Each structure stands twice: as C-alpha cells, then as structure tokens.
Structure 1
Amino acid sequence: MALDPTALRAHFPALASGLAFFDGPAGTQTPTPVADAITATLTGPLSNRGTFGESDLNAEHAVHGFRAAYADLLKMPAEGIVHGRSATQLTYDFSRHLAKTWRSGDEIVLSRLDHDANVRPWVQAAERAGVAVRWIEIDPATTELDLDSYELALSDRTRLVAVTAASNVVGTIPPLRRIADQAHELGALVFVDGVHYAAHHLVDVPALGADLFVCSPYKFLGPHCGVLAGVPELLESLHPDKLVPSPDVVPERFELGTLPYEILAGAAATVDFLAALDPGAAGTRRERLAQSMAAMHDHETALRARLQEGLDGFGDAVTLHSRARERTPTFLMSLGGRDARDAQTHLTSRKVVAVAGSFYAYEPFRALDLDDPALRVGLAPYNTAEEIDRLLVALDEFL
C-alpha cells in the first residue's frame, strides 16, 4: 500500500497555483474527476427524478449512486444515508426531530471538545423542550475528554449523547466506542460529529457505536454538502415536518425539496477517488477504500512527524495546543504573544495557506483558555514534505 503524492497532485488544478494548502480542516481542494462528475450530471440531459426517460433516470441514478457510495464509505445501509446542505443543517434538523421524543425531566450530554455545530443545535433544542444539558469536560493538560466527568454527567434520564469523533481544532480523537457503549447501557442515543474524523480515517459507523453520524464531503476532497448516516430503524421512528405530497419513505422523508443531483454525483465520485488513492488497491469499493485510506494515513503520519519536529524546534516561540495521544494531523498553536492573524498574512505572502481563528470551536476555546485567534495547520493527502519545509521556513521568518 502506497500513496504517490506526485501522481495524486496531478488531479488537483488548484495546486498549479503554487500555493501550499494547510487549511484542510476548513475544506480541501477538489480533484478533476469530482468536478467532471458534477459537470457531466449538471449538463445532462437532466430532469427531475423519474423512470420514464434518459434525463429523469440520470437524476435517479445520481441519487442511488450517492447513497451506495456513502454506504460503502461509512459502512452503513444505503437506506440510512441522508443528504443535507451541510453537517450543521443536518444536525439542526435532527435536533428538532429527536427533541419531539424528549419529555420534561430528560437530559442530554454534550462535549466541550466539539465544534459548535454539534453543541448549539442541541442546547437550543433542549431549552425549547425543557431538557437539562450535562457536559463532558476537557482535561486541559492533555486536550482529551475527561471521562470521569462523562460518567458523572450520565444518568438514567440521559436520552442523547452528542460528541465529536475528532476535534476540528486540536485534533483530539476521543475513545468513541467506550463513550457510546456507556450511553447505550442507559438506553441513550449517540450522535457523532464525524466531519474532521472522516477526512483522516476510514469510518465504520457501527464499530464506532454511533446511532447517527454526520460528515462533510468537502473536508475530504468532495463538493460542499453534508451526509448523515443513521440506523434505518431509528430513522423510521422519526417523523419530520414535511410537505404532504413529498415521499414519506426513509431516507427521503428527511430530504426536503428537489435534491442537487450534480452535487450528489460529485460526492459519489469523491468516494471513488478516495478508493483509488492507492493505485494497487483491489477488491470491492469498501476494500479499496480500506487499502487506500491506510496508505493516506501512512502518508499523513509521516508528514505530521516532520511538522511536529520542525515546530518543536521553535521552542517557547510556539505553544502547541494539540497534545492528545490519539489525534489527527492537525496542529493548533499560539505564537509567543504575537497575533496569529499577522502570521497568516505573512504565510500568505509566501504562498502558504494556514488560517488564524477559533474555527467555530467556541467550547474548546473557552474550556482550554486558548488565544483567539490561534493559528491552525492541518494536513491533507496532497501535502508534501517540501510544503512542510516551506511552511516552517515562512513561520521562522515571521517569528
């Protein structure tokens, strides 16, 4: 298993700009095969879904192709795959769906590690339903979840645990299966924000213990949209507000209005592209995904080690906040009292893209008392050792 960075990069027109992109956690660049799939679908022939002719069948095939692709990527049944405009929109939607089942006296458990998209929808739904919110805290020394606080937050009144599979700012990967098992022992559902995790690891939703799992294809080389994978039996039990004539079958009952067929086609092409990252990968699409993403992980791990060594060489001038034992190749750092926005400006002048901000991670920034803004550097499959070195040289100039 091996990833060839040169061959991979040839598929990304944006890289011809000479820019070194370290903003993958905010969204990756898009390869040509994904753009081609979008163009081919959009330019048709294309009509609304149906089974009468070429143009409406093209739309029908785009929908089924999308569900089949994400069933393979996430290891879930195709009837459990729901399209959404974004992970945030899907989480808001399902917070409302699930809140219909809550009663006064119920409780939900949220995580201080999470992006606000997996916090605020639940907080607001709980307020409307009169449901109490409990919290899993962060250990500031390790940037890992404090599992003692999780055990204290759980009770026989817990109805939902919402937690990230990986932090979008410090990269921490919590022990999700352990968290899920404890929730399930009490009869609670587990909603997982997998947006950052899915960009770096092959997802197995059942193995993670998630009942509902969201991700965003644009974080792993695809178009801008969101995907929710849910246990079909659970989806059958939820009844969203919808138009009377619109389909009431799962998963269509959760997808309001006409679907963006071209985006679905691009999202499906993204899965095929990921499955071919290792040119030697063979077998079913899921098997090829496993081989290719293992090769991607090896590539990113080597780059992460190179970057870690370089950042360590700056001594006290750089404070790294990404310290968890299990984490993604994502680094959040403060720069010795300097404004991270000035660092972003300098790096941009050297054609290095790394962003300063708090990245919608409202709870982690408060819990860890982080400088706002901080500088985030995140790796993607198309990054190279030479780009790591360029980043380190530019950062050294700034410091």
Structure 2
Amino acid sequence: MTPRLDLNFVRSQFPAFDEASLQGQAFFDNAGGSYACSQVINHLHRYYKETKLQPYHLHPASQKAGAQMDLAHQRLADYLNVTSEEVHLGPSTSQNTYVLANAFVNMLQVGDEIIVTNQDHEANSGVWRRLGLRGITIKEWQVDPATGQLDIDQLDVLFTSKTKLLVFPHCSNIIAHINPVAEICKKAKQAGVHTLVDGVSYVGHEMPDIDALGADIYLFSLYKVFGPHLGVMVIRSGIASILGNQSHYFNEAYKHKWFVPAGPDHAQVAASKGVIDYFEALHDHHYEYTDSTQEKAERVRSLIHAAETPLLSKVLSFVDHHPNATLLGPSSPSTRAAVIALVPKHQSPQELAQSLTEQGIICGAGHFYSVRLLEAMGIDPASGVLRLSFVHYTSEAEVDQLLTALECSL
C-alpha cells in the first residue's frame, strides 16, 4: 500500500519554501524549471568550496572531485536502470540534441528517413528537421488537430525500409498526454528503427525505468527534476557504438566524454547525485528499508503519483468545466502529467497570467517552444496558452489559491 506523502517533510527538503521573498507565492511554473532540493544545493556548495579545480589529477582534492563526478553518473544510472557508461551529462537538452543530430549524420545516407512529430518541443524536432538540408528525408508523425495526441497506428504507414530513427516526446509540454513509450519503442524495434525519446516534460513527475521503456536514447533536463541546470542523455551502448565518439579523438577511451564535446561542468555533474539523494531520503522517510535501487525507485514513483493525481484531478475538473476557458489535452488525470495548458476565451493568456501573478500565482504564458503543435491545433503561437504546472511538493492549499485566483480572473 502506498503511504500518504508527508508534505511537511518534502517541503523541508527545498530551501525555496523558507525563502522570505517567496512567501505567499504559489509555484505553478515547474514545467519551466523546478525548485532545487537541498541535497543538490549542498553538493554544489561543497564542490565549489572544497574541490573547485581540475578533476582526476593526482592531488587528493582533484581525485575527490573526479570521484564525486563518477558517483553522480553511477547514482543516476542505477536509478534509471541503465549502466553508468550510458549516462551522459551535457549543458542542456537542446545542446545535447544538437550533438546527437550531428552524430547521426555519420550513420545516415542520402534518402534515409527520420520521423519527427509536431507534438514536440522544438529542441527535439528542429535539429532533426535541419538534416533535410543534408539529403535526409524528414517525415512528420502528425497529431490529431482536435486533441493534440498521436495515433500509434500511423507508424505502420510512416515506417519504411529506409526509416532509421523515430523521435518523439514522452509527453507534450502543452497537452501533457503521456505517450505509450514502451509500446512505441517495441513497434519501432520490430521495424528496425532506432528511437529517441524526449522525457523533459515527464521526468519531473516520474523518473522512469529506461530499460523497461526500451528506448535507444532518452533525454531529460535535471533542472526540471530538482537538480542543477544540466541535460541528461541516456544513450544505450548499442547505439552509442554506432554513433561513436563526438569529442576530441584522444577522449576515445572516456565514454562519458563522447557526447559532451564542450566538456562537463564539473561542479554541476558532481551535484547531480543530490537528486537521487533526495529521492532516497523521500523513500526512507516513507518506507521500510530495502537495498534494491529499483524497488526504491518504483516506490518513489508510486508515492509521487499518488500525491499529484488528486491535485491534478481538482485543477482539471475546474478548468474543463469553466465556461471561459478551453482545456488542452485529456481531462482525465490517468493519462496525463501535471501540466495544464488552457486558452482563455475573453482575454489573452498574457493578460490572464498577469492577473494571476498579481494574486501570488507563479505561472507562464506563451508557446513554450511548441509552435508546431499550437499551429496544428489552430492556436496562434504569438499569444499561445496559459500553462500551469506543479509537482509533488505542491500543497492542496496552493491549488486552492490557484483556483480562487482563476475564478477571479477568468
């Protein structure tokens, strides 16, 4: 049985909730970046204070710095159910995708096909579309204009013998519908197609078992998972060997450098293990001890899901039934993440966001780099949508504050 989330314990792990300047402000812009947990902040502070020097050299402080970076890779790998060598930490998901697109050029020939979607954040679409300038055929897996969702059966038509890569999101940062990743990856594998999954909008709500998903490459941003501003690339060993080293030739022996040609941010890499430290603290506070990392991860997933679902249901019900707002994406919390995008009927999203801000609601308005999706759904990207997003540290009182503000503003 999943225990009830101890919200007081959770919020005690995030210094932002003790910050005087943020008191009374309800944070509903987590899809743009979450608060950092104290474990990450403490690791970052300790690294800058004790080991801010070139890692992996002979001095003990340098050796300590390198060991902290190695441990971060291993801790993330264990939690994601992959090997340490398959975890790569780059400056951002956008930059990581750019490196990957250039790496794929080396294995593609003129006429080969890449399938992208118009549901994606542009970072997981634009770089692949540009390969069309190099003779690669770009095909688009299109959303249903009414729902913004993808139909997996369309892949049967899109896949051909020339299709080499399928690029798609775990969930959209606008409609938030959770795509059936394992099913899609299985279908792609049967067709001999590699898969790249953008998990940026999903992982703040659930750190997945990537081995179970079956994706060849899985990307997400740590700063949306309570961590430092880094992008995580999980590149399974089979596809990594095909893509090859993208860094300096003399780094061939160092797998963690293969897809980070600019070099790692040492302090942030070391601090990233604080994300897993937080999840383990969350586990140990709510559950009996187990030495199985995968059991801990599954328990934490269940704990977070159980905490977010009733709050998401409450917000969805309000927006879906309000006469002055149009909800984008499914109205059921069982098929979407805790990201709510809406279009107000009598004002612009920016005007609504300004009104909410004046009532202590931290939120955003715009296209959120999903221009193609909004265009497909008949929404002007220039005005975009109002987006509200929360995670497990959000309280019911903050949701009530949001709904009161919406009622006053719509």
Q: TM-score range by the shorter chain?
A: over 0.9
> Structure 2 residue aligned with 1:357, among 357, 366, 372?
366
Partner of 1:63: 69
CA distance, structure 2, for counterparts of residue 394 and residue 207 of structure 1:
41
Q: Distance in 1 between matches of 2:376 and 2:57?
A: 53
| Aligned pairs for 1:264-283 within 5 A | 264-278=269-283, 279-281=285-287, 282-283=289-290
Percent of residue pairs bearing the same amino acid type: 26
> What secondary structure does 1:394 align onto?
helix
Report the equivalent of 1:205.
210
Give 1:367's aligned amino acid: A
Deviations 1:138-162 (A, max 9, x none): 1233332023332221111100000
Q: Deviations over 1:85-125 (max 9, x none)?
A: 01111111011101111111211111111111110010112
Match of 2:304 in 1: 296
Residue 16 of structure 2 aligns with which residue?
14
Taking the aligned partners of 2:52 and 2:90, their CA distance within structure 1 comes to 20
Give the CA deviation at 1:289. Answer: 2.3
What is the alpha-carbon distance in structure 2 between the residues aligned to residue 225 and residue 202 of structure 1? Answer: 15
* Mapped partners of 1:301, 1:242: distance in 2: 43
Query: Which residues of 2 match residues 236-315 of structure 1 at below 5 A?
Result: 236-278=241-283, 279-281=285-287, 282-283=289-290, 284-314=292-322
Q: Distance in 2 between matches of 1:5 and 1:120?
A: 39
Report if the CA contact (8 A) 1:307-1:388 is conserved: yes
1:323 is matched with: 330
The answer to whether residue 46 in structure 2 is matched with residue 40 in structure 1 is yes
Instruction: Give the secondary structure class of the aligned counterpart of 1:277.
Output: helix
1:132 equivalent in structure 2: 137
Runs of 4+ deviating beyond 4 Å: none
Amino acid at match of 1:294: S
2:355 is the counterpart of 1:346: yes
By how many angstroms is 1:337 displaced?
3.4
In structure 2, do the counterparts of structure 1 residues 116 and 257 end up closer, same or farther at CA, with 3 Å as the change threshold?
closer
Alignment match, 1:366: 375
Q: Of 386, 389, 394, which residue of structure 1 is paired with 2:397?
A: 386
Q: Which moved more, 1:196-205 or 1:85-94?
A: 196-205
Q: Would you say the 8 A contact 2:107–2:242 is kept in 1?
A: no
Where does residue 376 of structure 1 map in the other structure? 387
Q: 1:286 to 1:38 in 2, by over 3 A?
A: farther
2:4 corresponds in structure 1 to 2
Distance 1:46 1:80 in 2: 26
- Aligned partners of 1:20 and 1:351 also within 8 Å: yes
When residues 324 and 134 of structure 1 are mapped into structure 2, their CA distance, relative to the original with a 3 A threshold, is farther
Alpha-carbon RMSD across the aligned residues, in angstroms, is 1.7
Q: Which of the numbers 86, 111, 118 marks the counterpart of 1:105?
A: 111
Q: Which SS does the other structure have where 1:170 is aligned?
A: coil
Query: Does the C-alpha gap of structure 1 residues 224 and 364 become closer, same or farther in structure 2, counting only changes over 3 Å?
Result: same
CA contact (8 A) 1:172 1:324 kept: no
Contact 1:137 1:150 in 2 (8 A): no
1:153 aligns with 2:162: no
Contact kept? 1:144, 1:324, Cα under 8 Å: no
Equivalent-residue separation in structure 1 for 2:403 and 2:152 (angstroms): 35
Q: 364-373 or 69-78, which moves further after superposition?
A: 364-373
| Structure 2: distance between partners of 1:258 and 1:156 | 37
Counterpart CA distance in 2 for 1:313 and 1:162 is 34
Taking the TM superposition and a 5 Å limit, the aligned residue runs for 1:22-33 are 22-33=28-39
**Aligned residue among 99, 107, 115 for 1:93:** 99
> What is the TM-score when the length of structure 1 is the normalising length?
0.95
CA distance in 1, matches of 2:263, 2:164: 33
Determine the C-alpha separation between the residues in 2 that align with 1:370 and 1:300: 28
Contact 1:109 1:161 in 2 (8 A): yes
Task: Determine the C-alpha separation between the residues in 2 that align with 1:41 and 1:247.
Answer: 27
Q: Which runs of 5+ in 2 are unaligned?
A: none
**For residues 379 and 261 of structure 1, what CA distance do their matches in structure 2 show?**
29
State the 1:379 CA deviation. 1.4
Deviation at 1:51, TM superposition (A): 5.4
Structure 2 Cα separation of the partners of residues 307 and 63 of structure 1: 40
Pick from 170, 183, 188 the counterpart of residue 178 of structure 1.
183
- AA of the residue aligned to 1:302: P
Q: Which region of structure 1 is more displaced relative to structure 2, 252-261 or 119-128?
A: 252-261
Q: Distance in 1 between matches of 2:377 and 2:331?
A: 13
CA distance in 1, matches of 2:247, 2:70: 21
